[in-house]
Amino acid sequence: DGGITQSPKYLFRKEGQNVTLSCEQNLNHDAMYWYRQDPGQGLRLIYYSQIVNDFQKGDIAEGYSVSREKKESFPLTVTSAQKNPTAFYLCASSRGQADNQPQHFGDGTRLSIL
């Protein structure tokens, strides 16, 4: 079945360490997104990519980096510059920019600091 796969489900980071969260989709979607979810809050957009080899900052991009070398993959790196990385990270994708195309979400990665 088509869908979005995020891995790992749980991830632990030591202070000063970079970690990379994986997101893969087999839906043939052009656009992909990364969101951060904190307890009791809505989702906030970190980065998004409308097409391969292109991406833009969202509302809270500081301390994060992404790449989009393949259509199906959009990994997120949480760098040591992100001072409060503990959160639930959600990846999403959508077919394109048409207004009636919804975003589909993966099951998320929960990142914690050791």
d(CA 29, CA 102): 11
Distance, in Å, from the CA atom of 3 to the CA atom of 12, rounded to the nearest integer, reads 25
DSSP, res 73: B
22: contact with other proteins by CB under 8 A = no
Neighbours of 26 (CB within 10 A): 12
CB proximity list for 65: less than 8 A, separation 6 or greater: 76, 77, 79
Q: Based on CB atoms, which residue is closest to other proteins, 71 or 104?
A: 104
> Taking the complex as a whole, how short is the minimal distance between the CB of residue 80 and other proteins, in angstroms?
26
Spell out, one character per residue from 63 to 92, where the chain touches other proteins: x when CB under 8 A holds, - when not.
---------------------------x-x
Least distance in Å: CB of 111 to other proteins? 14
List contacts with other proteins (CB under 8 A): 4, 6, 31, 33, 40-45, 48, 50, 56, 58, 90, 92, 94, 97, 99-108
